[in-house]
Chains A and B, each alone.
Chain A
Amino acid sequence: DAKTTQPPSMDCAEGRAANLPCNHSTISGNEYVYWYRQIHSQGPQYIIHGLKNNETNEMASLIITEDRKSSTLILPHATLRDTAVYYCIVRGLYGGATNKLIFGTGTLLAVQP
């Protein structure tokens, strides 16, 4: 399974862009990068995913380096409600055709007023 490395915590000022890095140096060619976040005691919320091209949706942008060994999740204008643990997950077909997600410890993003 491809492993991910994320900083344990980050701070961001409200209204500024939050840039959350993730290293996944052992990623394989057919594995996708997914981002989820979990606000305290709630279920994880899907944010975005991508293979090799940059992706953008209404929540965030995902920038994947050309060698695919790292990526950055960008929240363009962070608000207090974006305070959460952010998980970067590399997703492949582990043990066959399944939807198994392997969560690491994530990054606790604290948005400061």
Chain B
Amino acid sequence: KAGVTQTPRYLIKTRGQQVTLSCSPISGHRSVSWYQQTPGQGLQFLFEYFSETQRNKGNFPGRFSGRQFSNSRSEMNVSTLELGDSALYLCASSSRTGDVRTEAFFGQGTRLTVV
């Protein structure tokens, strides 16, 4: 079974631009969560989608948004990029939501560098 796939793996963008990252969850998984990892703040939860609906959102500005498609693939978008948005963006997929017995599996991440 294929794991979680994130594309692209690396990205360089200029301040003020916008960026879209993609995540394909494990086949059959319907929950996709996004995380941001920086050296200063560590791993922080961005948002979760399940059945095309946002279920929870972390403490990030509105420039960070996401969506999920009917095939469970998810995208996240960051508009008006700032230097501080440089980070490793990780996607995790789970078969269910709201079940604390269900593990989440992470992708390899997208490394975004804003210059």
Contact = CB atoms under 8 A, between A and B. Distances in A.
- Chain A at the B interface: SS class: loop
Q: How large is the interface on B (under 10, 10 to 19, 20 to 34, 35 or more residues)?
A: 20 to 34
A65 interface: no
6 contacts: A43-B6, A43-B92, A43-B106, A93-B98, A99-B97, A99-B102
A107 to B, nearest CB: 13
A2 B98 CA distance: 17
B24 interface: no
Q: Which of A45, A51, A91 has the most CB of B within 10 A?
A: A91
Contacts of A87: 43
A102 interface: yes
Contact of B97 (A34, A41, A97): A97
Contacts of A113: none
B45 A102 contact: yes
B75 interface: no
A21 B33 CA distance: 27
Nearest to B101: A32
A46 B45 contact: no
A97 B55 CA distance: 8
Contact of B100 (A31, A44, A45, A104): A31
Interface of A: 30-32, 34, 36, 41-46, 49, 51, 87, 91-105
Given A99-B102, A100-B33, A105-B42, A43 B48 contact: no
Contacts of A42: 108-109
B88 interface: yes
Given A92-B100, A103-B42, A98 B56 contact: yes
B90 A34 contact: no
Contacts of A102: 45
Contacts of B108: 42-43
B72 interface: no
A97 to B, nearest CB: 3
